[in-house]
Amino acid sequence: MDQEQIPPRKSAAHEQEAKYGEFVSLLARHDQSIRRFIRLLLPTREGVDDVMQETALECWNQFAQFTPRNPEDIAGDFIRWACVIARYKTLSWQRDRARDRLVFRESIVERLAQTSMQELDQREQERTAIQGCLQKLSSEERRLVLSVHSPGESIARIAEESGRQARRLYSQVNYLRKVLLECVRHQVTQEIGHG
């Protein structure tokens, strides 16, 4: 008996729709990772939205060529694939604006992209660790370190407002950032070390 099954015939539109659904689901689930990757290649937040948008559209245009290497880690493969596109889009975005904005040298972007690609898996762990570390601060410290990031606030503005306390405030925030950074590093490596 012929054991081979005849695949059900699908219309091109149907296939396109399925492919589209797959793409949207992957992108929606992982656009945060891709966006973060882009942010890390740029010296400031400026341009992240633009590059992300261009990356997303380029990903969709090329999605037909996306073939996961490892069927058990499609998500990981998708993120890595999209990050390659994102790196390229970041470089070309920077090139267009190099004259009037703060941008990294191309060699730096390349190196950051390389290091960042190796650490993609780690980002999620770091995110969780950040939550935990933040909880370890006293509520005053937590408030201070977060107030810097509250909408409409910035270190410069807070420093301006607080006048003579500016320097002290700045160094306090920087101290807390250092504490958080060490804590995150510790938690992540401990997880690798103590599972």
Partner 1 sequence: MDDRTRQLIYQLIDGAISPEDFDRLQDAMEADEEVRQEYLLAVHLNESLQEIAETEWDSAANVEEFPGGHSSISITKNENKPAHLLSSPANWQVPQWSLAAMILFLVGGIAYWFGQQNAEPSLLSVMDQETEQGVEPLISGHASLRRSLALRWTAGTPSYREGDVLQAGKLQFEAGVAEIDLFCGATLIVEGPAHLVLESDWSVQVIEGRLRASVPPAARGFVIKAVGSEIVDLGTEFALEVGEEDARLEVVDGEVELRGGDHDGQLLTTGQRQWLKGTPKASERIRSLSTLADVQSRRASAQQARLAEWKAYYQILRNDERLIAYYPIADSRIERVVPNAAATGGDFDGHLVGSVNRTEGRFELESTGLSFERPGARVRTRIDGEFQAFTFSCWVKIDGLDHRYNALFMGDGYENGEPHWQIRDDGRLMFSIMVDDTKDVRYFNAIDQKVVKDAGLHRVYLTEQMWDLSKSGQWFHLAAVYDPANRRVLQYVNGEKISQEPIRDDFYVSTLRIGPAEIGNWGQPFRKSPWFAVRNLNGTIDELAIFNAALLPQEIHSLFEKGKPLGY
Q: Write the interaction track for partner 1 spanning residues 70-109; mark x where CB under 8 A is met and - where it is not.
A: x-xx----------------------------x-xx-xx-
Kindly state whether residue 15 participates in binding partner 1, applying the rule CB under 8 A.
Answer: no
- Which is closer to partner 1, CB of 92 or CB of 165? 165
The SS3 assignment for 151 reads: coil
Neighbours of 47 (CB within 10 A): 20
Out of 25, 61, 62, 92, name the contact with partner 1 by CB under 8 A. Answer: 25
3-state secondary structure of 105: coil
Q: Kindly state the helix (H) or strand (E) to which residue 184 belongs, with its residue range.
A: helix 166-194
Which residue from 61, 62, 92, 165 is in contact with partner 1, where contact means CB under 8 A? 165
- Confirm or reject binding of residue 177 to partner 1 (CB under 8 A): yes
Supply the DSSP string of 47-91, one letter for each residue: THHHHHHHHHHHHHHHGGG---SSGGGHHHHHHHHHHHHHHHHHH
User: Cβ of residue 150: shortest distance to partner 1, in angstroms?
Assistant: 4
Q: Which of residues 119-158 bind partner 1 (CB under 8 A)?
A: 119, 123-128, 130-132, 134-135, 139-140, 143-156, 158
Q: What is the DSSP letter of 138?
A: -
